[in-house]
Amino acid sequence: MNTLDRETIADHFKSFQAQIYERIEGFEDNKSFIKDGWEKQNLGSGLSIVVDDGQVFNKAGINFSQIAGDSLPDSSLGILNESEKLPYFATGVSVVFHPNNPNIPTAHLNVRYFCTTKDGEIHNHWFGGGFDLTPYILFEEDCYDWHKSAKNACDQTDPDFYKTFKKNCDEYFYIPHRNEHRGVGGIFYEKLEIPLDQGIQFSKDVCAAFIETYTKILEKRKDLNFTQRDVDFQKFRRGRYVEFNLIHDRGTLFGLQTSGRIESILMSLPKDVNWRYKFDDNLEEKEKNLYEHITKPKDWLNE
């Protein structure tokens, strides 16, 4: 793969970042956004667009990166065989929104492209990504819309994608030491080996579905009232989000193993979070309702 090819692919992902930022910037004061371009020798470059302590978002990040290295780490795909430990190029967009209002869920998106090279030529390439939703106060209509949007995005490429990727998401965003899921899921896919043009289009469709549905939720929930108890519960549940990202998330591990930019890697963590002793021993009714949906995956489109 030559430099032009890499830049052409990376430019698609830059455009995804720009489109997501364009849809979200109106929810915050422009002064809240930090646009932080970076370049790291022997790794690559990127642009982080971050809100830290905003009016709507406690923490938010829309990150683009393009990197290259001599050998993929195991975290990229799980345990690699020797034939997969080759020079690589990777580019992608990673998004996390942590809202202030507990009525608005946390949302996460990632779309990425990888290729390995051998003797100067592409050896293999693939796509990965998906999005998931982490509510604090459950609104079932939001969960339905989220999964309906995910299915529509998948169906444009392959009608079989949603069922498989929904199951992948439920299994991946699971916190085994808590015996619960991070949220109500969405879609998740790894090493999707499809033609380049098709993969770029699918990535675009996934990004569009994500931001269209999340901005719809923002509009509906951003002005709803909440109590101090709701905030306390939100901060407690953010602790579970942090536990997953630091212990189980392969994207976080990949960034650390490739000596990535630490501020961008840990952008996914909320600004305010609590760990409380046995807080969930005495849940209120709406909190119990949330737990019913995060301890057992639900088929949102058929129940």
Residue 84 has pLDDT above 70, yes or no: no
- Mean pLDDT: which of 26-35, 50-59, 68-77 is highest? 50-59
The predicted pLDDT at position 1 comes to 53
Distances (CA, A) of 19 to 14, 22, 62: 9, 5, 10
Helix intervals (H) in 56-101: none
3-state secondary structure of 279: helix
The predicted pLDDT at position 6 comes to 86
Task: Single out the residue of 218, 219, 213 nearest to residue 145, CA to CA.
Answer: 213
Given the residues 12, 108, 147, 181, the one annotated as active site: 108
Local confidence band at 29 (pLDDT 50, 70, 90 cut-offs): confident
Which residue spans within the chain are E strands per DSSP?
A: 33-40, 44-52, 57-69, 88-99, 106-118, 121-134, 174-175, 180-181, 185-192
The predicted pLDDT at position 77 comes to 54
Question: CATH number for the 3-294 domain, one of 3.30.230.10, 3.40.1390.10, 3.30.360.10, 3.40.1500.10?
Answer: 3.40.1500.10
The predicted pLDDT at position 79 comes to 47
Residue 255 has pLDDT above 80, yes or no: no
> Of the ranges 80-94, 114-128, 196-210, 221-235, which one carries the lowest mean pLDDT score?
80-94
d(CA 99, CA 103): 9
How many CB atoms neighbour CB 120 within 10 A?
Answer: 8
Local confidence band at 251 (pLDDT 50, 70, 90 cut-offs): confident
Residue 98 annotated among the catalytic residues of the structure: no
Query: 3-state DSSP: the chain helix, strand, coil percent, rounded to 5?
Result: 45, 25, 30
Sequence spans of domains, the chain: 3-294
Phi-psi bin for 243: left (phi > 0), alpha (psi -120 to 50), beta? Answer: alpha
For residue 185, the Cα-to-chain-centroid distance in whole angstroms is 11
Provide the whole-model pTM.
0.93
Local confidence band at 271 (pLDDT 50, 70, 90 cut-offs): very high
Helix intervals (H) in 248-294: 250-257, 262-265, 285-294
Mean pLDDT of 275-283: 93
> Of the ranges 29-43, 73-87, 266-280, which one carries the lowest mean pLDDT score?
73-87
Contact between 230 and 102 (Cβ < 8 Å)? yes
Helix intervals (H) in 136-195: 140-155, 161-172
Residue 284 has pLDDT above 50, yes or no: yes
Residue 27 has pLDDT above 60, yes or no: yes
Only one residue has tokens 């780490």, namely 73
The predicted pLDDT at position 109 comes to 98
Residue 246 has pLDDT above 60, yes or no: yes
